[in-house]
Amino acid sequence: MSGAHEHVSVLLAEAIEALAIRSDGIYVDGTFGRGGHSRAVLARLGGEGRLIAFDRDPAAIAAGRAIDDRRLTLVHQPFSTLDAELERLGVGQVDGVLLDLGVSSPQLDDAARGMSFRFDAPLDMRMDTSRGQTVAQWLAEASVGQITEVLRDYGEERFAHAIAKAIATARTGGAVATTGQLAAIVEKAVRTREPGQHPATRSFQALRIFINQELEELTCALPACVARLRAGGRLVVISFHSLEDRIVKRFMRDESRPLVLPARLPVRAADLPPPRLVLVGRARRPGAGEVAANPRARSAVMRVAERSGVGA
């Protein structure tokens, strides 16, 4: 990282290579961010190519408007709306979809977004600041059981119940309204923590994933991505969290396997439709040099699949 709010696109060269870009193709960047991947796609496209870039963050869309390129269409929506938005734009099949999941550096590094315990700021965490409930608003109403479930399921937090009870106790004296308040509450409730990790890391991550419905968005979007890919089109997904990667891995694995029918059903294997996806290579991770230059890349995993000719 070379400056505040700068976002370094992870696995940039590898992702562009994996898309196997055709100069006249139509591509989707489901997470524009600050446009690192989008700019690289545009650099490979010819005059007839097209890129549709999604982002739910108004700041990302504002940054994208600085790109003066008729081939680029910006969409202020989460990528789960891909199917409906492509329909609205009159786009049928596409040649590739890239999803760079998780939170961007500008979102983490902007104190006002309330996503990091490094700053004391309003407890927001929404990726789209123009709509939806903030984390502070949700914590003010959620039960101990609900908070426990979120911290456990989205953050894999061992001390989820203790943290939830501490939050409930703290809010009797007033709203838990800032990142500093929440971090202090968690720090007191967590008895032990992995070396080098702040006690609030898992809780902040869990609440961000939950309030933005990140896993649900991904689960909804993946089938739509495959349905929109033309034969030979590529789906490239970069994840930064084990829960995200698990969803992607299982989806691609299941879509690349032959249909399994009940035993003794009188259907020949040769008559079954082939899988919709073909896996392309193994999962890719950043090299040591990229991680050294950009420590936030260390957890990244990229998976790639290609659309078969089935139903295309």
Rounded to 10 degrees, the C-alpha dihedral 250/253/258/264 comes to -40
What pLDDT is recorded for position 115? 84
Which three-class secondary structure string do you get for the chain?
CCCCCCCCCCCHHHHHHHHCCCCCCEEEECCCCCCHHHHHHHHHCCCCCEEEEECCCHHHHHHHCCCCCCCEEEECCCHHHHHHHHHHCCCCCEEEEEEECCCCHHHHHCHHHCCCCCCCCECCCCCCCCCCCCHHHHHHHCCHHHHHHHHHHHHCCCCHHHHHHHHHHHHHHCCCCEHHHHHHHHHHHCCCCCCCCCCCHHHHHHHHHHHCCHHHHHHHHHHHHHHHEEEEEEEEEEECCHHHHHHHHHHHHHHCCCCCCCCCCCCCHHHCCCCCEEECCCCECCCHHHHHHCHHHCCCEEEEEEECCCCC
Residue type present at position 163: I
What pLDDT is recorded for position 259? 67
Q: CB within 8 A of 295, min separation 6: which ones? A: 1
What pLDDT is recorded for position 105? 77
| Rounded CA separation 74/86 (Å) | 12
27 close to 98: Cβ distance less than 8 angstroms: yes
Taking alpha carbons only, the member of 152, 190, 192, 189 closest to residue 169 is 189
The per-residue pLDDT string of the chain (312 residues; one tens digit each, 9 = 90 and over) reads 333 345 678 899 999 999 999 999 999 999 999 999 999 999 999 999 999 999 999 999 999 999 999 999 999 999 999 999 999 999 999 999 999 998 877 787 788 888 888 889 999 999 999 999 999 999 999 999 999 999 999 999 999 999 999 999 999 999 999 999 999 999 999 977 777 788 999 999 999 999 999 999 999 999 999 999 999 999 999 999 999 999 999 999 999 987 666 666 666 655 666 799 999 999 999 999 999 988 888 899 999 999 998 554
| Rounded CA separation 106/244 (Å) | 21
| Rounded CA separation 97/233 (Å) | 8
Binding residue ranges: 35-37, 55, 79, 100, 107
What pLDDT is recorded for position 264? 65
What pLDDT is recorded for position 8? 74
End-to-end CA distance of the chain: 42
What pLDDT is recorded for position 194? 76
Binding residue ranges for S-adenosyl-L-methionine: 35-37, 55, 79, 100, 107
| Rounded CA separation 230/257 (Å) | 19
Mean pLDDT of the chain: 91
What pLDDT is recorded for position 3? 39
Q: What is the reported pTM?
A: 0.90
